[in-house]
Amino acid sequence: MITRRAFLDTLAVGTAGFAVSSSAKSYARILGSNDRINFGIIGLNSRAYGHLEALKANQQNIQVTHVCDVDSVVLGKFAAKTKATFGYDVLTDKDYRKMVQLKDVDAISIATPDHLHTPISIAALQAGKHVYVEKPCSFDPHEGKLLVAAQAKYGLLVQMGNQGRSLPHIKEIIEKIHNGLIGRANFARAWYVNNRKSIGIGKEIAPPPTLDWELWQGPAPRRAYRSNLHPYNWHWFRIYGTGEALNNGTHEIDICRWALQVDLPKNLNASGGKYVFQDDWEFYDTLVANWAYDDKMISWENRSRTPIQEFGRDRGSHIMGTDGSVIVNMGGYEVFDQSGKKTDEFKLSSVKTASNDLIGLSTAAGTNLHFANFIAGIQRGEKLNSPIAEGNLAVTMLQLTNIAWETGLTLNLDPETGKIINSDIAQKMTHREYEKGWEPTL
C-alpha cells in the first residue's frame, strides 16, 4: 500500500514535466482569477466529448485548462477539439496523478474506464479538487462506501453523471408521482435493449505504442493486453468493466428508486447469461434482476444483443401505482390511468431515445444541465442534483446484482449498511483485488 506522503513525493517530481501544448501567453491566461473554475478532464474517449460540450455551454467564468489520457492519439485528438471549441490551447498529459495535484486545477471531470473512477475521484478530493465522475461512480460496493466517505471527509463536491437527475421533465414527473399522481407507487420496472455485436476472440498482443498500458490498468491486477479490449470493449471484461447493468442500468434504476422513494433493498436476485455470441464477452448479454423491499419492488431487464423494444422504446422505466402508471426516460414521459388510457404525455424532441443516447452527444440537454448544477454548486453553493451519497445507491444495487448473478444466490442485505448477511463468499466479492500499491485509501 503506497503512503500518501510517498504518493505526493512521486507526483511532485512528475508534475514538473506536465506536457505543455500552449504558448506562454495562453498559459498565463489559464492560471485564471480567484473566482474562475479551471477544469481538467480525464479519460478522453466517448463521454468526455459530452463533458466538453457541457462545459462550453456553461463556460461563463469557467475554463478547460488541462486534459489527460493514457493514449497519445486520443489525447492529441481531444486537445485539438478542445482548442477548436474554446479557442485556446490546453495543457496535456497521460498521467492523471499529475493533473490532480496541479494547484491551478479546481475541478476534475472523469470519463475513464470504470475501474479507475473511484481511485481518481479520491485522489482528486485529497488534492482539493471538486469532482464530476461518470456513472458508475465506483467499481464495487466497497469503493462506493470509500468514495462517499472521502467526500464527507474532504468536504468538496462530487456529482455522479446520471444526468436524468437534472432533466426538468424527469424532475417534474417524479415530483408528481411523489404527490400522488398514480396513487401509491409500489412497483417499478426498467429495461434496456441494444444490438451489440460480437467482440470476437482476441489475442494477447503487445499494446499499441501510443497506449501506456501500465497507467491504463492502474489499480487493476496486471494482465496481458488483448487485441479486442481498447478503446471500448473493456466494458465486457470483469476486471475492468461492470457490465450492462452498470453501463446503462444505473440511469434507469436510479429513476426507479427515486420514484419509489427507496434506498437499498432487503434482498435481491438475478439470473441471465450470455446467449447470443460465443466470444470474449465475460458478462451476461441478457439479465433479469429484482430488488425487494417491505412493500415495494424494482425489476430490471437488459438484452444487450436482442433489440426488441418495449413500449416503442429501447430503454425506460415503468413506474406503477395503485391508481395508474408512468413510463419515463430521457426523452419524455407518458401517464396512464388504471385501465391503460393515456392521460398525459411530454416529449423532449431535441433528445432521441435510442440505445446510443448515452454514448455520444445526443444527451446534451441532460449533461449540460447536470454540469450547470455542478458548477453552480461550486460557485454559489447550489444543492447538487446527484451528490455522491445519493448517486451511489443505485450503483451499489446494481453491483450487488452482478454478485447475485455470479453466485446464483438470492442475497439478503442489511439495508442500512448494504452488507450481505447470508453469504460470506458473496460479501467478500464486494471488495475487489488491487494491483499492489494502487488501492485507494483515506
Residue 350 has what pLDDT? 55
Q: How far apart are CA 391 and CA 389, in angstroms?
A: 6
Indicate whether 329 belongs to any domain.
Answer: yes
Indicate whether 437 belongs to any domain.
Answer: no
Q: Crossing angle for the helix pair 47-57 and 364-380, nearest 10 degrees? A: 60
Q: How many Cα atoms occupy the beta-carbon half-sphere of 399 within 13 Å?
A: 30
**Among 108, 142, 164, where does a domain finish?**
164
Indicate whether 375 belongs to any domain.
Answer: no
Residue 165 has what pLDDT? 97
Residues 17 and 142 in one domain: yes
Q: How far apart are CA 213 and CA 207, in angstroms?
A: 7
Residues 111 and 17 in one domain: yes
Residues 175 and 323 in one domain: yes
115-149 residue pLDDT tens = 999 999 999 999 999 999 999 999 999 999 999 99
Residue 359 has what pLDDT? 34
How many angstroms separate the Cα of 176 from the Cα of each of 114, 124, 336? 34, 37, 13
Residues 303 and 404 in one domain: yes
pLDDT of residue 5 exceeding 70, the answer is no
333-381 residue pLDDT tens = 999 999 999 999 999 875 444 333 333 333 578 999 999 999 999 999 9
Indicate whether 9 belongs to any domain.
Answer: yes
Q: Residue written as cell 453553493?
A: 381
Q: What are phi and psi of 29, to 5 degrees?
A: -65, -40
Mean pLDDT (the chain) is 91
Of the two residues 84 and 11, the one the predictor is more confident about is: 84
Residues 109 and 119 in one domain: yes
Q: Say how many C-beta atoms besides its own lie within 10 A of residue 341's C-beta.
A: 9
Question: Do 211 and 230 contact (CB within 8 A), yes or no?
Answer: yes
Q: How confident is the model at residue 35 (pLDDT cuts 50, 70, 90)?
A: confident
Residue 226 sits in a domain of what CATH number? 3.30.360.10
Would you say the pTM of this structure is higher than 0.85?
A: yes
Q: How far apart are CA 37 and CA 375, in angstroms?
A: 8
Indicate whether 441 belongs to any domain.
Answer: no
Indicate whether 10 belongs to any domain.
Answer: yes
Q: How far apart are CA 269 and CA 401, in angstroms?
A: 7
Indicate whether 82 belongs to any domain.
Answer: yes
Nearest alpha carbon to residue 226 among 248, 209, 204: 204
Residues 96 and 215 in one domain: no
Cis peptide preceding 265, ω within 30 of 0 = no
If you count them, how many residues does the chain have?
442
Residues 151 and 172 in one domain: no
Give the total number of structural domains in the chain: 2
pLDDT of residue 16 exceeding 50, the answer is no
- Judged by DSSP in three states, 205 sits in coil
Residues 81 and 198 in one domain: no
**Among 164, 192, 227, where does a domain finish?**
164
Nearest alpha carbon to residue 105 among 6, 190, 32: 32
Residues 424 and 326 in one domain: yes
Longest dimension (CA), the chain: 68
Question: Do 39 and 105 contact (CB within 8 A), yes or no?
Answer: yes
Q: What's the one-letter identity of residue 441?
A: T
Residue 34 has what pLDDT? 55
Question: Do 418 and 264 contact (CB within 8 A), yes or no?
Answer: yes
Residue 90 sits in a domain of what CATH number? 3.40.50.720
β-partners of residue 291 are 268, 298
- Judged by DSSP in three states, 84 sits in helix
Residues 19 and 139 in one domain: yes
Structural domain range at position 189: 166-202+211-358+388-428
Burial-class residue 13 by CB neighbours within 10 Å (0-12, 13-18, 19+): exposed
pLDDT of residue 12 exceeding 80, the answer is no
Indicate whether 363 belongs to any domain.
Answer: no
Residues 157 and 188 in one domain: no
Nearest alpha carbon to residue 324 among 346, 345, 341, 347: 341
β-partners of residue 329 are 332
62-71 residue pLDDT tens = 999 999 999 9
**Among 104, 136, 164, where does a domain finish?**
164
Residues 101 and 217 in one domain: no
